[in-house]
Amino acid sequence: MIEIKDLHKSFGSHKVLKGINETVDESEVLCIIGPSGSGKSTMLRCINHLEEPTSGEIYIDGELITDKNINEVRKRMGMVFQSFNLFPHKTVLENITIAPMNVKGVSQEEAEKKAMELLARVGLEDKASEYPKSLSGGQQQRVAIARALAMDPEVMLFDEPTSALDPEMVGEVLSVMKDLAKEGLAMIVVTHEMGFAKEVADKVIFMDDGVIVEEGTPEQVIDDPQQPRTKDFLSKVLSV
Amino acid sequence: MAMYWKGFLIACQGIPATVAVSLIAVIIGAIIGLFLALLRLANNTVLRTIAKIYIDVVRGTPMVVQAFIFAYGIPQLLQANNVEFRWDNLVIPAVIVCGLNSAAYMAEIVRSGIQAVDKGQMEAARSLGMSKSMAMRLIIIPQAVKVILPAVGNEFVTLIKETSVLSFVGVVEVMRRGALWNAATFETFPAYIGVALVYMLLTIPLSKIIGHVEGKMRHEEAA
């Protein structure tokens, strides 16, 4: 469904991605792990062109993603950010309905009905008329997930969705994500949550210094890493 | 003392003209300023350069010079080219000059407001499939407006005072009323004290209101 071919990305002379090849199939969950600065987030952001790839190709359902079709393609990809990025001047309900109504032309009634269903799914139907600032971080992130789902995406991109949360709120967000994975939604998740990766991922890739160092099932990569860099990273992460 | 009171009352007669010119100009300035700000932030280099030149020219020349060019220079130029033209009322070029002048300052205010909106807002909007212009309209500008409201208010206060230069081109506003009365009576000190009091009467309450709104917004932000 998503195919990445020889993706390179540089910021000035700084090479962040040095040739990434990867595929994600329908209803597959891919977790990307690795140290900060390894290019995980950049790779994710290249998929929906929030970062313009320097070279290489990305396909969705066999269709090459370009500047021309990017708005179309983005309707099919939901994205969840580390810092939530809810629209502070809109209520929770409006945050969820604004894109379906304006981008897809869905009627207000229909959009609101769908939004309430999604809010129920993330356990926040009682917050519909609140503004984002009155919500906790975990609640905001769940609204952000509902907002992305409102566009009926084929794949969801998660960029460290729990890294900005207080520890006690991580669980509620991960549990929503687990439900999505169970329902068979394709997901690409940049995360430091090894427990989540182990439980939910079909495939894990370990990135370091702009390349994929190791990839495989969670059992292979997390429990039995072969590469010294993977072993070193995991020993530091898992020992805490 | 009576002369001061008289001077104040004379200057008050200019209030409608001063307020009308300032108000219309600030509205023109806000609309054109928003447009200029969007040009300044455009990807296209030509559009960006046009906006930059406009802003530099307007901010780099005194408004009184601009007023003379519009009120007298342009009609003269047209007449020299055999186009019959004169302003029906000097308030018209006055409003245009103030509006275009204010637009240049407003453009920088709006631009800073747009840039103050978190970068993640644009990314979130774009990631939902919105075009750049839709994201600007629905997500960025509504947030920027809130940020710049106090600065726009201050621009209005500045403009009220700046319109005094229009007296040089013959618009009968507060300053001109005082100057005319001075010319007739030679009560120079009371005349201009009256003028000064009228400007204070307009600007100080306005500043107070802006300060109040600003404080309230800051309070909301913290809540």
Answer yes or no: is pLDDT of B217 > 90. Answer: no
φ, ψ for residue B172, nearest 5 deg: -90, 80
- Classify each residue of B186-219 as buried b or exposed e, where b means 16 or more C-beta atoms within 10 Å of its C-beta: ebeebbbbbbbbbbeebeeebeeebeeeeeeeee
Residues 6 or more apart in contact with residue B108 via CB below 8 angstroms:
B37, B55
Residue B121 near chain A (CB below 8 Å): yes
> Is B98:B159 a contact under the CB 8 Å cutoff?
yes
Tokens 């991580």 label which residue?
A170
Q: A103–B129: do the CB atoms touch at under 8 Å?
A: yes
- What secondary structure does DSSP assign to A99-110, as a single string? HIIIII---HHH
The rounded distance, in Å, linking the Cα atoms of B161 and B4 is 21
pLDDT of residue A240: 58
**Average pLDDT per block of 10 residues along chain A, 240 residues long:** 94 94 94 94 95 94 92 94 96 97 96 96 94 95 97 96 93 94 95 93 95 95 93 85
Residues A207 and A32 sit within 8 Å (Cβ to Cβ): yes
The residue whose two tokens read 């609101």 is A112
Question: For position A239, what pLDDT does the model report?
Answer: 73
**For B122, which residue in chain A has the nearest alpha carbon?**
A85
Measured CA to CA, the distance from residue B138 to residue B135 in angstroms comes to 5
Select the residue of B121, B131, B138 nearest A71 (Cβ to Cβ). B131
CATH architecture of the domain formed by B2-222: Orthogonal Bundle (1.10)
CB atoms within 10 A of CB A206: 26
**Ramachandran category for residue A66: left, alpha or beta (phi over 0 → left; psi -120 to 50 → alpha):** beta
CB-CB: which of B121, B124, B138 is closest to A102? Answer: B138
Which of B127, B141, B221 would best serve as a mutation to test chain A binding (most A beta carbons within 10 A)? B127
Instruction: Indicate the pLDDT class of residue B78, thresholds 50, 70 and 90.
Output: very high
A147/B146 CB distance under 8 A: no
Amino acid at B36: L
pLDDT score recorded for residue B216: 82
ipTM of the complex: 0.93
pLDDT single digits (tens) A151-183: 999 999 999 999 999 999 999 999 999 999 999
Res. B223: pLDDT tops 60: no
Residues 10-39 of A with CB under 8 A from B: none
CA A126 to chain centre: 25
Q: DSSP per residue over A116-164, as a string?
A: HHHHHHTT-GGGTTS-GGGS-HHHHHHHHHHHHHTT--SEEEEESTTTT
Round to whole Å and give the CA distance between B185 and B174. Answer: 17
What is the residue extent of each domain of chain B? Answer: 2-222
pLDDT at B69 (0 to 100): 95
Q: What predicted TM-score, i.e. pTM, was given to this entire model? A: 0.86
Alpha-carbon distances, residue B98 vs A109, A180, B169 (angstroms): 46, 58, 13
